[in-house]
Amino acid sequence: MAARLKQRGEQLRLGGPPPGRAWCEAWSDAVDEALVALSSSVLDSHRLAVVAVGGYGRRELCPGSDVDLLLLHDRLERQELEFVVRRIVYPLWDAGLTVGYAVRNRREAIGAIDDVDTATSMLELRTVCGDRGLASLVQVEVLRRLRQRPHKFLESLRRADTDRKRKAGDAAEAIEPDLKSGAGGLRDVQSLSWAAAALVGVSGLDPLVPAGYLGATDRPRLVHARERLLAARVALHLEVADRATSTPVKSEVLRLESQDAVAARLGFVDRGEHDLAAHDLMRELILAARVIDHVHRRAWSLIDADLARGARRRRRPTEREHDGFELVDGVLRLPDGLDLGTTELPTRLLAALADTGAVLDRGSAARLRRLVEDGEPGWAWTDTQRERFVRVLWRGGVMVPALAELDDVGLLTAMLPEWEPLRGRPQRNPYHRYALDRHAWHAAANLGDLVRRESWAAEALRRVDDREGLLLGVLLHDVGKAVGEPHSETGVPLARSIATRMGAAASTVELVGRLVRLHLLIPDAARKHDVTDPALARALAAEVGDASTLACLHLLAAADGRATGPTAWSAWTGSLVQTLITKVDAVLDEQDGNGARDLEHEAAVETVREAQRLAPELGAEAAAVREHLALLPTRYARSVSPRAVVRHTLMALLPPGATEVRTRVTPGEDLAAPTGAQGHVDELDVVALDHPGWFAKVAGVVALHGGSILAADAFSREDGLAVDTFRVLPPDGAAGAWWAAVEGDLADAAAGKLAIRARVLRQARASAWRPSPAGDVPTRITATPDPAGRSTSIEVHTMDRVGVLYAIATALAELELDIVVARIQTLGREVVDVFSVRDADGNPLDADHLSELELAVAGAIAELGGN
136-156 pLDDT, tens digit per residue, is 999 999 999 999 889 999 999
Check whether 465 has a pLDDT greater than 90.
yes
Q: Please state the rounded mean pLDDT for residues 608-625.
A: 91
- In this prediction, residue 406 carries a pLDDT of 94
Model confidence at 384, pLDDT cuts 50, 70, 90, reads very high
DSSP conformational letter for 99: E
Q: What is the Cα–Cα distance from 670 to 861, expressed in whole angstroms?
A: 34
238-252, 350-364, 776-790, 844-858: least confidently modelled range: 238-252
Buried b (16+ CB within 10 A) or exposed e, 529-556: bbbbbbbbbbbbbebbeebbbbbbbbbb
- In this prediction, residue 330 carries a pLDDT of 81
Check whether 676 has a pLDDT greater than 50.
no
Highest mean pLDDT among 265-279, 407-421, 578-592, 727-741 belongs to 407-421
Beta partners for residue 795, in sequence order:
782, 834
Check whether 260 has a pLDDT greater than 70.
yes
492-548 pLDDT, tens digit per residue, is 999 999 999 999 999 999 999 999 999 999 998 888 887 878 888 889 999 999 999
pTM: 0.81
Check whether 684 has a pLDDT greater than 80.
yes
Distances (CA, A) of 468 to 185, 391, 546, 591: 37, 9, 17, 26
Q: What is the Cα–Cα distance from 773 to 259, expressed in whole angstroms?
A: 11
The answer to whether the CB of 863 falls within 8 A of the CB of 768 is no
- In this prediction, residue 58 carries a pLDDT of 94
Q: Per residue, what are the HEC states of 616-677?
A: HHHCCCHHHHHHHHHCCCHHHHHHCCHHHHHHHHHHCCCCCCCCCEEEEEECHHHCCCCCCC
The answer to whether the CB of 799 falls within 8 A of the CB of 780 is no
Check whether 596 has a pLDDT greater than 70.
no
- In this prediction, residue 462 carries a pLDDT of 94
15-19, 127-131, 248-252, 568-572: least confidently modelled range: 248-252
Cα R_g (the chain), whole angstroms:
32
781-825 pLDDT, tens digit per residue, is 998 887 767 789 899 988 888 888 999 999 999 998 988 888 887
Check whether 82 has a pLDDT greater than 80.
yes
Model confidence at 383, pLDDT cuts 50, 70, 90, reads very high
Smallest CA-to-CA distance from 51 within 86, 91, 6, 103 is with: 103
333-355 pLDDT, tens digit per residue, is 999 888 888 888 999 999 999 99
Please give the share of the chain, as a percent, with pLDDT higher than 70.
Answer: 92
- Percentages helix, strand, coil for the chain, rounded to the nearest 5? 60, 10, 30
- In this prediction, residue 602 carries a pLDDT of 62
The answer to whether the CB of 261 falls within 8 A of the CB of 237 is no
- In this prediction, residue 802 carries a pLDDT of 85
184-226 pLDDT, tens digit per residue, is 999 999 999 999 999 999 999 999 999 989 988 899 999 999 9
- In this prediction, residue 671 carries a pLDDT of 39
Model confidence at 244, pLDDT cuts 50, 70, 90, reads low
Phi, psi values for residue 682, rounded to 5°: -95, 160
- In this prediction, residue 377 carries a pLDDT of 76
DSSP conformational letter for 479: G
Q: What is the Cα–Cα distance from 492 to 494, expressed in whole angstroms?
A: 5
Check whether 675 has a pLDDT greater than 90.
no
Check whether 865 has a pLDDT greater than 60.
yes
Model confidence at 47, pLDDT cuts 50, 70, 90, reads confident
Within 8 A by CB and 6+ apart from 639, the residues are 530, 532, 713, 715
Domains of the chain: 2-148 (3.30.460.10), 152-309 (1.20.120.330), 655-863 (no CATH)
> How many Cα atoms occupy the beta-carbon half-sphere of 560 within 13 Å?
27
Amino acid in the structure at residue 515: L
Task: For the chain, give the mean pLDDT.
Answer: 87
The residue with greater pLDDT, 75 or 457, is 457
Within 8 A by CB and 6+ apart from 601, the residues are 634
The residue with greater pLDDT, 276 or 413, is 413
Model confidence at 600, pLDDT cuts 50, 70, 90, reads low
DSSP conformational letter for 579: H
